[in-house]
Structure 1
Amino acid sequence: MPHSIRLGGPALRTRGGAGGVDERRGAMNQAQQAFVELARHPDEGIDLAAGALAVSGLFQRELAQGDALAELDALASEVRGRIPDDADLFDRVRALNAVLFEELGFAGNQEDFYDPRNSFLDQVLARRLGIPITLAVVYIEVAARIGLPAFGVGFPAHFLVRIGRGDTALMLDVYAGGVALPESELDQRLADLYGAGTLSIRSHPALLRPATKREILVRMLRNLIGIYRDRNEPINRLEALTAALTLAPDLPDELRERGLLYRDLEYVPAALGDLRRFVEVSDDAEQIAAVSKLIDELGGQDGGVRLH
């Protein structure tokens, strides 16, 4: 994790109450180390629920990971009890939807979509409120426990869940209560985003490919990066950027943003490291030119370190 610094204490200062800063810093160092260890695994070795909880642990002083995992097991047990022995894929989906959305009330948080708690799996399980990607993680993890093949899909602007493979696969919008989306609806969503006739599922079937676990975690972190940017919480934003780059070290946008944030925090060596790497991996000529100019300006300041 190049140019990383330990940021746990300040990240929780606004919501940690009167607890000692040293105590918070130690807890967060532990959470950061756990995240680094998780990121070292190949994708097939990453437990999605544990990964999502590791994200939560970076921003919360106390996290009962065991309780959250036990809740997923309990949800699966409840669903399993509703499934007849001769159930097919559709029966399993109906049972899962009935328990999660109709009976327990899991739903999208439309009133406060950008509340950071919507991105923390333990909080989503406790409050039964989330955003598309965290509700999808709940759905995928419960589905896996009942033998239902479910995958996340990084559909543009709105994360979806895919059940099954091939022509019989179902695309579900779990933010809307697990409703199945026909191809025509998916095409309409693409038209709304990019203009009519620009993209379609038939012309771009890769839009429905299952996301890797690493991609899911990065997308969760990108949500948090945006939230903390809008809330003007630079230390939490730095935490989220560093976690995303721990999972995928050469993300151009995140390298550039973290480099600029380090610059703003007057941590020049780290800023230069990120910005130079951005120039190496980016294919955006205009941004490369602007960042290269900034690198030249910062070069004379290299050596001083200040972190607010």
Structure 2
Amino acid sequence: MVKTESIEALIRLLDDPDEHIVSLVRSKLLDIGPAALEFLRTSVDILDFEPAAFVEIERLMQELQFAEVKADLIDWIKKPEKDLLRGAYLIAKYQFPDLEYHQLNEQITSIEKKVWLELNGKLTSFEIVKTINAVLFDFYGFKGAETHDFSPYHSLLNTVLEEREGTPLSLSILYSIIAQRLEIPIYGVGFPNHFILAYMDEYRIHRLLQSDGSGGVLFYIDPFAKGELLSRGNLEDTLQHYQMLPQRHFFEPSSHSSILIRMINNLIVSYNRLNRTDKVSELDTLKKCFIS
């Protein structure tokens, strides 16, 4: 572990007029990694640097913040149990480096408690969904953003919680996290072009209703449409409209890794529209973490 005094001494050298020294210091601080971040943040407030040094510090902080998110994401990917909120938090932290996990967790816990207060053990699966819909879309006012105007902020969970608008994916992530915390079997489904949710048939009700029932999905939910209920037939009609052949993974729950990859892809599309090639490149790097 690098000593505090050594890091502080290196930061002070960023104000050296010799560009070669500044370059060496920069490399050493990048090698130290995220541990140097807090010292860089503090130095902006307490040290009297020339303007060029402040520019260099800002650049270093951005690189180190990205390295920190990347390292945390790789750690998340390696875990056998992947917490979806933690993963969504890491993607949000990429855009908002000062974001703390507890901020997201507290907001979602507040919504979860409101849903819990409205539930009781006698509700059917349809009534449970109706209750969640009432809390999310009527009480809190969450809604789908205009499809022609998806900004990066519509994909990030912290801004979705603040602005109450999101994409099909971000609203589905919020909905499923709350449901799963309440032990309601609702999971994300990577349907083409429009992420949805599946209420799993955990009690194998389909076996009682249909001779060919498999006990898989009871029904589907579209949070982008304020929790509209959908059948498999509805989804197959949509595929037929777009001349797409049905595939098994279109109808079954997605892994949390694939959900995060889809979130990153959505952000890449948004930043491409904004001509932010720097962001697109960084997000491509994060996406590659899943296949390395």
When the two structures are superposed, what TM-score results if normalisation uses the length of structure 2?
A: 0.72
Q: Check 1:167–1:38 CA distance in 2 against 1; reply closer, same or farther (3 A cut).
A: closer
Distance, in Å, in 2 between the alignment partners of 1:85 and 1:46 is 28
Q: State the AA in 2 paired with 1:129.
A: E
Pairs within 5 Å for 1:129-144:
129-144=165-180
* Alpha-carbon distance in 2 for matches of 1:130, 1:234: 23
Which residue of the partner structure matches residue 30 of structure 1?
68
Equivalents in 2 of 1:219, 1:24: separation in Å? 24
The superposition leaves residues 18-69 of structure 1 with CA deviations (integer Å, 9 ceiling, x where unpaired) of 9933333333332222112112223xx1100110110111122321321111
Q: Distance in 1 between matches of 2:92 and 2:217?
A: 35
> Match of 1:163, SS?
strand
Partners of 1:214 and 1:84 lie apart in 2 by 32
Alpha-carbon contact 1:218-1:244 (below 8 Å) kept: yes
1:123-162 deviation per Cα after TM superposition (whole angstroms, max 9, x unaligned):
1111111101110000000001212011111111110100
Quick check: 1:73 aligned with 2:109? yes
2:268 corresponds to which of 225, 244, 251: 225
Matched residue, 1:123:
159
What SS does the corresponding residue of 1:105 show, helix, strand or coil? coil
Per the alignment, residue 171 of structure 1 pairs with 220
Find the partner of 1:188 among 226, 237, 257: 237
Q: Give the equivalent residue in structure 2 for 1:265.
A: none
Note the 1:2-21 alignment, pairs <5 A: 20-21=58-59
Q: Deviations for 1:156-210, whole angstroms, at most 9, x for unmatched residues?
A: 111010011336611011100010012332122112211xxx535xxx4442011
Distance 2:154 2:66 in 1: 20
CA contact (8 A) 2:190 2:249 kept: no
Contact preservation (8 Å) 1:80, 1:146: yes
Deviation per CA, 1:237-278: give whole Å up to 9, x if none. 1111111110123xxxxxxxxxxxxxxxxxxxxxxxxxxxxx
Gaps of 5+ in 2: 1-29, 38-54, 202-214
The residue type equivalent to 1:110 in the other structure is E
Change (3 A) 1:23 1:199: closer
Question: Which letter maps to 2:284?
Answer: L
Residue ranges of structure 1 left out of the alignment (5+ in a row): 10-17, 250-308
1:200-234 deviation per Cα after TM superposition (whole angstroms, max 9, x unaligned): 5xxx4442011000100001111111222222212
**Which residue type is aligned with residue 225 of structure 2?**
A
- TM-score, normalised with respect to structure 1: 0.68
Gap change, CA 1:112 and 1:125, over 3 Å in 2: farther
2: CA distance between counterparts of 1:113 and 1:192?
A: 24
In structure 1, the partner of 2:8 is none
Aligned-pair RMSD on alpha carbons? 2.4
Q: Find out whether 1:146 has 2:186 as its counterpart.
A: no
Alignment of 1:113 with 2:159, yes or no, is no
Tell me what 1:212 maps to: 255
2:115 match: secondary structure: helix
Tell me if structure 2 keeps the 8 A contact 1:73–1:145: no
In 2, the alpha carbon distance for the partners of 1:137 and 1:30 equals: 23
Distance 2:217 2:267 in 1: 34
User: Does 2:245 correspond to 1:199?
Assistant: yes
Partners of 2:59 and 2:148 lie apart in 1 by 29
Indicate the SS of the match to 1:87. coil
Q: Which has the larger radius of gyration?
A: 2
Fraction of identical pairs, as percent: 25
